[in-house]
């Protein structure tokens, strides 16, 4: 699970007035046998090691490990490699998109966007796990720790939903696993690369967005192919 944007309502960034909470669901066999080795090979190609942590912001505005992206040829090769990683990613994606100005306009006393997104997202993930025959089995939800206050807020929202404060009125079998960015989790890095393109598409749907075109093929869908309210939930 990863996020894009912030959930602050009192001061909304006019350049990016959305909050995205995104879940990237991957079968464990696929993760071990395909996702992790593919990302390691990709990193070895550019760094000669696999310790660099992919981060969307550092790729978009190169610094640190990513200064080489200022060279056009290398940048094009790197982005083509990222595109291949995303195309081959065996994942089902669930994203909750909160349009913050609309959210504030709709409700006089809006609840925290984070709480709302967490409840909605975990319900959709739970529905998916039911279809996959995982009823009663505990699923780990991996998140990046960000600081004591932020981590406490996240855990409180997560526990509240899983304890039964949700539209399903039942406990949800999810286990929260919080890890630092330095843990170098392939799954978290891929989720980080996916979240922002979803937000950009919502804000500027007519703008060319190659990343979103790939991501869109991986959203959870209904048996008839419907994406809205199955893989993507727009609030309000």
pLDDT tens digit sequence for 161-177: 999 999 999 999 999 99
Domain for residue 218, yes or no?
Answer: yes
Domain for residue 188, yes or no?
Answer: yes
pTM listed for this prediction: 0.94
Q: Is the pLDDT of residue 7 over 90?
A: no
20 within 8 A of 42, measured Cβ to Cβ:
no
Instruction: Tell me what pLDDT residue 9 has.
Output: 92
Residue 135 binned pLDDT confidence (cut-offs 50, 70, 90): confident
Q: How many domains does the chain have?
A: 1
127 within 8 A of 167, measured Cβ to Cβ:
no
Q: What is the pLDDT of residues 200-217, one digit of tens each?
A: 999 999 999 999 999 999
Domain for residue 169, yes or no?
Answer: yes
Average pLDDT over residues 132-142: 94
Give the integer Cα–Cα distance in Å for 21 and 153: 14
Residue 109 binned pLDDT confidence (cut-offs 50, 70, 90): confident
- Judge residue 27's burial from the number of C-beta atoms within 10 Å of its C-beta, 0-12 exposed, 13-18 middle, 19 or more buried: middle
Residue 54 binned pLDDT confidence (cut-offs 50, 70, 90): very high
- Judge residue 164's burial from the number of C-beta atoms within 10 Å of its C-beta, 0-12 exposed, 13-18 middle, 19 or more buried: exposed
Q: Is the pLDDT of residue 108 over 90?
A: no
Domain for residue 132, yes or no?
Answer: yes
Average pLDDT over residues 47-59: 95
- Judge residue 52's burial from the number of C-beta atoms within 10 Å of its C-beta, 0-12 exposed, 13-18 middle, 19 or more buried: middle
Residue span of the structural domain in which 132 resides: 2-26+92-235
Q: Is the pLDDT of residue 12 over 90?
A: yes
Domain for residue 47, yes or no?
Answer: no
Domain for residue 80, yes or no?
Answer: no
Residue 111 binned pLDDT confidence (cut-offs 50, 70, 90): confident
């Amino acid at each position: 699970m990863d996020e894009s944007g912030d959930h602050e309502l009192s001061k909304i960034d006019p350049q990016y007035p959305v909050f995205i909470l995104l879940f990237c669901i991957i079968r464990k066999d696929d993760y071990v046998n395909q996702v992790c080795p593919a990302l390691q090979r990709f990193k070895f190609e550019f760094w000669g090691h696999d310790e660099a942590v992919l981060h969307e912001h550092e790729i978009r505005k190169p610094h640190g490990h990513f200064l080489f992206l200022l060279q056009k040829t290398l940048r094009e090769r790197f982005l083509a490699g990222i595109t291949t990683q995303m195309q081959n990613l065996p994942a089902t994606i669930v994203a909750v998109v909160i349009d913050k100005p609309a959210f504030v306009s709709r409700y006089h006393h809006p609840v925290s966007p984070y709480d709302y997104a967490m409840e909605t997202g975990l319900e959709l993930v739970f529905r998916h796990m039911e279809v996959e025959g995982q009823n009663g089995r505990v699923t780990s939800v991996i998140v990046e720790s960000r600081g004591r206050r932020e981590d406490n807020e996240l855990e409180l929202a997560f526990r509240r939903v899983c304890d039964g404060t949700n539209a399903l009125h039942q406990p949800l079998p999810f286990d929260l696993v919080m890890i630092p960015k330095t843990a170098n989790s392939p799954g978290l890095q891929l989720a980080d690369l996916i979240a922002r393109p979803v937000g950009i598409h919502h804000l500027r749907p007519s703008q060319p967005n190659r990343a979103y075109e790939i991501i869109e093929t991986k959203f959870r869908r209904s048996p008839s192919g419907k994406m809205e309210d199955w893989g993507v939930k727009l609030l309000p």
